[in-house]
Amino acid sequence: METKKIEKMRGALRGEITIPADKSISHRSVLFSALGKGKTHVKNFLEAADCLSSAACMRALGADVERVGEGEYIINGCGLRGLKEPSIVLDAGNSGTTLRLSMGMLAGQPFLTTFMGDASLSRRPMGRVIKPLAQMGANIRGREGDKLLPITILPKHTPLQAIQYDSPVASAQVKSAILLAGLYADGDTTVRELYVSRDHSERMLSAFGAKLKREGSAVTISPAEELVSPEEIIVPGDISSAAFWLVAGSVIEGSDLLLKNVGVNPTRTGILDVLFDMGAKLELLDARVSGGEPVADIHVQAHGLKGVYFGAEIIPRLVDEIPIIAVAALFAEGDTVIEGAGELRVKETDRLSAILTALNALAPGSVEERGDGLIIHGGRPLKHAKVDSYDDHRMAMALSVAGAAGAGADIEKPSCVRISYPSFYEELERLSR
């Protein structure tokens, strides 16, 4: 089995890092441009496996997606009603975003589409998207009670029905799928969440001319005849990728890092709130707006951390960052308590279980599982151990930071970082020289 050996860091991490493009926004830039009328020049697109799955699926549906340079694409959209029936089964790879948002886009189309994915995606639940789409009149069939891949979306020759949907989970993917389907509905469609999830879809759909209205935790979209593609979309850096350096720079003694071009959308900055509460030494510099998204550079310096508590109300704003927050908690003084994180059980792996097993291998007795949360006892001695990434990119990078800051680690199945951060290991080596 492939293994990546991470050595204990002998010095500090120092330097500047240009953070890879935001995965969520990269997905949406190609998906929404495929629905738009006209050409969009997308710059700083994340050329990682998940986002390339979105590009490939849109090509198969008739959009002209042309790579014109590193991270640069020209997308000539089909328009809301110009997508074509694909001649192949669409492969979403490992990407839940590609699959779930595409299901919303295609729920009202007059042709048949079938999706497949890799082994991990084929285990992830799609019923949470299929249920509201079915309420809108979509006819979607999948495996095991219409919950798992492969999934087929049957033709729809009449408008979808507008609904008001109270989502049982705060999920940007579920919300986005319903909003996209709402473009093809017979009236205004509303999604209400317990807590507001990331709002990249709302921001970008507005840039394409869609009519949206937000009231509290509810967002309403009106049906549209057409979306007009903006001439340019510049994708900011992904705070979920920056998170690994925010923690590494905080817990590896003497570190001093400047993270460039980081998206700081308020629906995504829960990681900053938690690290500030833990006592991290962070500073946001050169705040600006790019393509409707707030962006800043972030300066992080090593500093002692303390344990904190956080619960369900902030989880949607940091759900992807919990593996690396758990690593920060290992090096903090006192206990960190995480509650209301059940959404982690249906990610690329059951991340709560994965965190428990892997961190206890590196720091025995440091992590307890409690319901849909964790208790992490900071300050326990770390040892070098072999740990499984579970083929989960965020687990692999979080465990690499734990190994570098602790006593080293041998990461099994390390190449999964290609999903969101293909150059991660090279950056870790460069910054430690």
Catalytic residues: 320
Answer for the pair 393, 402: CB distance below 8 angstroms, yes or no: no
Q: Distance (Å, rounded) from C-alpha 169 to C-alpha 376?
A: 25
Q: Report in angstroms the alpha-carbon separations of 83 from 78, 80, 105, 140, 309.
A: 6, 7, 10, 18, 47
Do residues 272 and 33 lie in contact, with contact meaning Cβ atoms separated by under 8 Å?
A: no
Check if the beta carbon of residue 116 is closer than 8 Å to that of residue 149: yes
- For residue 416, the 8-state DSSP code is G
Phi, psi for residue 276 in degrees, rounded to 5: -60, -45
Say how far apart CA 283 and CA 359 lie, in whole Å: 29
Dihedral of alpha carbons 241, 244, 247, 252, sign: negative
Contacts of 206 (CB under 8 A, 6+ apart): 212, 292
- How many CB atoms are located within 10 Å of the residue 381 CB? 11
**Residues 148 and 116: beta-carbon distance below 8 Å:** no
- Which of helix, strand or coil describes residue 182? helix
Token pair listed for 111: 């042709």
Element (H, E) at 42: strand 39-43
Identify whether 110 is preceded by a cis peptide bond (ω within 30 of 0): no
